[in-house]
Amino acid sequence: MESLATILPASAMAEEPKDMPDADLPGSRRPDAVVRPGATEDVAALMEWATREGVGVLPIGSGRRAHPVRGDGRFVVLRTDGLAGLETYEAADLTLSAGAGTPFGTVAAALAENAQWAPFDPPRIDQRSLGGLVANGLSGPLHMGYGELRNHVLGLTVVTGDGRTLRLGGRVVKNVAGFDLLKAVVGSRGSLAIITSVVLRAFPVPPVDRTLYVEGATVGELLKHALEVGTAPVLPASSVIVDALAAAGGRPALVVRLHGAEATVAADQRRLEEHVGLTFRVDSGVDHAGVRDHASLGDVLLAASARPSRLGAVLDALDALTPTALSVDSYGGRVRAASAVPTGEVIDSVRSRIEDVGGALRLFAPSMDGRAAELSTRPRPGEQALVEGLRSAFDPGGVLWPARF
């Protein structure tokens, strides 16, 4: 077998598997090697080698959101944190490119120097790398006002499973003709290609960020008002229900954010209150990170999705788990719930009830090292053939290791 050390620079082979911290590699299995390439060319050489030798490649960004290693077969770990650093930043054009291993906090700090930001707020955003964020395709509640993350990833440099380097998209908003492969990679969770560089669209920081909230006895009671917010003649930056808000004395609350100029935000609040028929409290002290991360940790984490009009049925189904924390993004039709470890029968029942109303459920539970590990997904009818077609085109040798999925 051809040695990795003969095709990669010594700097990419600096780490021995036995020296790799458990925090970076979940599960008890040890890889054949841990590589930390510093350039796209090194990633391409690694993937060509893996396809020739039939060795799996497990990409890891920050490592904090990685799933446990399962299944059989030889594999190497590809750490992308060596692909870090800002590449170009055109503040006047609101575009920034950076290596995939760049911590999102580094990107946010660079944008803040020019009163700009990237309004993407999935749970634990402070722990994510830029490439990991894009690979997971998560946006958070701010998608209501700013759109999904996939709409603001302007370009990617990726390496396919067999070592081809592809540059998808570019540095402008409209530059795509034909099938948009860029959007297929965003959210593919490392199953199609290794992301090595990202071009991201930025936004000006809003002059006013006003937080409104209203309390309720239960999450279900607040759902009606949240759905009304989604049909209002104004579009908030975000709208989310949490089952416990510190500013509301630990009671369930609907939290809404309005962005814009002072006069516009004041007018939007009046129109929103008229539409919903409620008077919101204004509180600049609401912990947005706490709202963002609510129900993101627990013994078991469930992420359910359905049409907004069906969320009541989803909440009823999740009641069987006696959730310890709940968060509802009614505009996106998403619910997160944390609970104690349930039995298999209860999970099957909950999932069936959610699927009966056209929804879907993803389930995460503790791995051996105590972090969330995905246990179950169920693709919708017709999706599997499309997924397999994309994987065969991007990774014909099947080396982007499926053991973590």
Q: CATH number of the domain that 344 lies in?
A: 3.30.70.260
> Each residue of 298-336: b (16+ CB within 10 Å) or e?
bebbbbbbbebebbebbbebbeebebbbbbbbbbbbbbb
Same domain, 152 and 227: no
**Separation CA 239–CA 254 (nearest Å):** 7
Higher pLDDT, 185 or 71: 185
Instruction: Give the per-residue pLDDT at 366.
Output: 56
Q: Which domain-ending residue is among 47, 82, 117? A: 82
Instruction: Give the per-residue pLDDT at 126.
Output: 84
Higher pLDDT, 13 or 281: 281
Q: What is the pLDDT of residues 154-172, one digit of tens each?
A: 999 999 999 999 999 876 5
384 within domain boundaries: no
401 within domain boundaries: no
What value, to the nearest 5°, has the Cα angle with vertex 144 and ends 215 and 276?
Answer: 40
394 within domain boundaries: no
Neighbours of 274 (CB within 10 A): 11
Q: What is the CATH number of the domain that holds 175?
A: 3.30.465.10
Same domain, 285 and 228: yes
Phi then psi for 305, rounded to 5 degrees? -140, 145
385 within domain boundaries: no
Spatial contact of 328 and 226, defined as CB atoms under 8 Å apart: yes
**Separation CA 128–CA 120 (nearest Å):** 11
Spatial contact of 231 and 271, defined as CB atoms under 8 Å apart: no
**263 CB contacts (<8 Å, ≥6 apart)?**
none
102 within domain boundaries: yes
Token pair in block for residue 26: 């979940």
Overall domain count for the chain: 4
134 within domain boundaries: yes
355 within domain boundaries: yes
Spatial contact of 101 and 118, defined as CB atoms under 8 Å apart: no
Q: Position of tokens 């090595």? A: 196
Band of residue 391 on the pLDDT scale cut at 50, 70, 90: confident
Spatial contact of 26 and 47, defined as CB atoms under 8 Å apart: no
Closest CA to 116 of 90, 136, 155, 142: 90
Q: What residue numbers bound the domain in which 348 lies?
A: 295-376
Asked whether the predicted pLDDT for residue 49 surpasses 50, the reply is: yes
Q: Position of tokens 């707020």? A: 121
Count, in order, helices (H) and strands (E) of the chain.
11, 19
pTM equals 0.87
Same domain, 93 and 159: yes
Q: What is the pLDDT of residues 201-215, one digit of tens each?
A: 999 999 999 999 999
Instruction: Give the per-residue pLDDT at 244.
Output: 94
Higher pLDDT, 303 or 384: 303
Same domain, 167 and 272: no
**Separation CA 170–CA 166 (nearest Å):** 11
- Expressed in angstroms, the distance from the first to the final Cα of the chain is 27
Phi then psi for 105, rounded to 5 degrees? -60, -35
Band of residue 390 on the pLDDT scale cut at 50, 70, 90: confident
Asked whether the predicted pLDDT for residue 152 surpasses 60, the reply is: yes
Beta strand spans in 216-371 (E): 238-245, 251-260, 281-282, 300-305, 325-329, 334-339, 360-366
Q: How many CA atoms lie within 13 A of 287 on its CB side?
A: 13
- For residue 208, list its beta bridge partners: 260
389 within domain boundaries: no
Q: Where are the alpha helices (DSSP H) in 209-343?
A: 219-230, 262-276, 288-293, 311-318
Same domain, 288 and 341: no
Same domain, 176 and 226: no
Band of residue 367 on the pLDDT scale cut at 50, 70, 90: very low
Instruction: Give the per-residue pLDDT at 114.
Output: 97
Token pair in block for residue 53: 């030798």
Q: Which domain-ending residue is among 263, 292, 321? A: 292
- For residue 79, list its beta bridge partners: 60
Instruction: Give the per-residue pLDDT at 64.
Output: 55
Same domain, 225 and 273: yes
Q: What is the pLDDT of residues 305-352, one digit of tens each?
A: 999 999 999 999 999 999 999 999 999 999 999 988 777 788 889 999
Q: What is the mean pLDDT of residues 105-113?
A: 96
Same domain, 105 and 198: yes
Q: What is the CATH number of the domain that holds 64?
A: 3.30.43.10
Share of the chain above pLDDT 90, in %: 60
